Amino acid sequence: MFERLETLIGSKINLLQNKTVMVVGLGGVGGHAFESLVRSGIENIIVVDSDTIELSNLNRQALAFQNTIGIPKTQIAVHLAKNINPNCHIISYQIFLTEENIDSIFNQKIDFVIDAIDTIKSKKILIKTCLKKNIPIISVMGTGNKMHPELLEIKDIRQTTYDPIAKIIRKMVKEEKISQKIPVVFSTEKPLIQGKVGSNAFVPATAGLLASSYVINKLLEVKHE
């Protein structure tokens, strides 16, 4: 089933199949990142999300369909992965990530984490936990109120601009004197509106795909420019 991928990376497909990636947040960003990991040969994935699919998710989320409304996103993710690759082993946590429960999801070896969380407090906790445990992480900043996926980039958090979430994380990094690099997906596009959050099908999806491509290339030890 991975013949086309093997044409690109050869026997390294076996390396991917033995890695474990955690995706925290299965919304517009995380759902696309998750699906991309499965289609890229990652067979061990941990998913964390407390939400169920809502009608408003249909315009942008990979797990959202008319027949999945009301179903937990973690449950849909397991079903999707098995439909693509029956060899997938998905561990799911239907929880809202907090300081009190975060240790429970880090009870095994994890090779990489994709942070697709919207809640700032949980995002901070996840980033700091990964840094403390020396687990590679890529964190996705805000994708709402943006219309140009071509303006998304991957850089260290200290090099970000025009992103309200990134501004908060930069402040955390400065105040807590964090020295490690924190790669993030962010947009150089100024938000179109303030206050209410609007979104579309292509900016969150592109951010998720950028995050998953970063993870795959890092796991393959391919230099990321």
The distance of Cα 73 from the centroid of its chain, to the nearest Å, equals 14
What tens digit of pLDDT does each residue of 7-37 get? Answer: 999 999 999 999 999 999 999 999 999 999 9
- Map out the domains of the chain as residue ranges: 3-219
Q: Where do the H-state alpha helices sit in the chain?
A: 3-9, 13-17, 30-39, 73-84, 102-105, 120-133, 164-175, 203-219
* For residue 225, pLDDT beyond 50: no
CATH topology of domain 3-219: Rossmann fold (3.40.50)
Give the pLDDT of residue 194: 82
Task: Classify residue 75 by burial, with Cβ atoms within 10 Å: 0-12, 13-18, 19+.
Answer: middle
Write out the two tokens for 17: 């199949």
Mean pLDDT for the chain overall: 96
pLDDT computed for residue 84 by the predictor:
98
The string of pLDDT tens digits covering residues 68-116 is 999 999 999 999 999 999 999 999 999 999 999 999 999 999 999 999 9
pLDDT at 224 over 70: no
d(CA 144, CA 197) in angstroms, rounded, equals 6
The pLDDT score that the predictor gives to residue 195 is 82
Work out the average pLDDT over 52-77.
98
Rounded Cα–Cα distance for residues 35 and 84 (Å): 9
In this prediction, what percent of the chain has a pLDDT beyond 90? 94
| More reliable by pLDDT, 162 or 67 | 67
The pLDDT, as a whole number, for residue 222 is: 55
pLDDT category at 223 given cuts 50, 70, 90 is low
pTM: 0.96
